[in-house]
Structure 1
Amino acid sequence: MKFEIYRSGDSLLSLQWRWRLVAANGEVVADSAEGYVSKFDCEYSIGLVRSTSQSTPIVDVSG
């Protein structure tokens, strides 16, 4: 798997940094829920995702 960082938006004023996690088969398995103004903030968000581990709890909020 790999993280890809890219910019999206309609104009230079609206360009935002985003990330997506891509599996070996090319399928996107996760993406940033929001855009980031700076590349640093986007990379920081990737770091937060990467820091999760098997000890991260799974919580069923379906009721």
Structure 2
Amino acid sequence: MSGKFVLKKGSSGKFHFNLLAANGQVIATSETYESKESALNGIKSVQTNAPGATIVDETK
């Protein structure tokens, strides 16, 4: 099984998503969005932009 995005609606009525690993562990949490549509666009952005993303190590 591969990872998945889980869209959630908080008690404030705003939306966010978690990216879960195949084992169900949360590996990323999004910012808060005002609308469901915006949150879904955030998911699409991660899906589009992350596969080739580079790692920038700013700890040095």
**TM-score scaled by length of structure 2:** 0.81
Q: Distance in 2 between matches of 1:31 and 1:44?
A: 14
Q: Percent identity?
A: 35
Partner of 2:55: 58
Which structure 1 segments of 5+ residues have no match? none
Considering fraction of residues, name the structure with more helix. 2
5+ residue gaps in structure 2?
none
Question: Would you identify which runs of 4 or more consecutive aligned residues in structure 1 move more than 4 Å?
Answer: none
Q: Which has the larger radius of gyration?
A: 1
Aligned residues: 57
Pairwise CA RMSD of aligned residues? 1.2
> Which residue does 1:6 correspond to in 2?
8
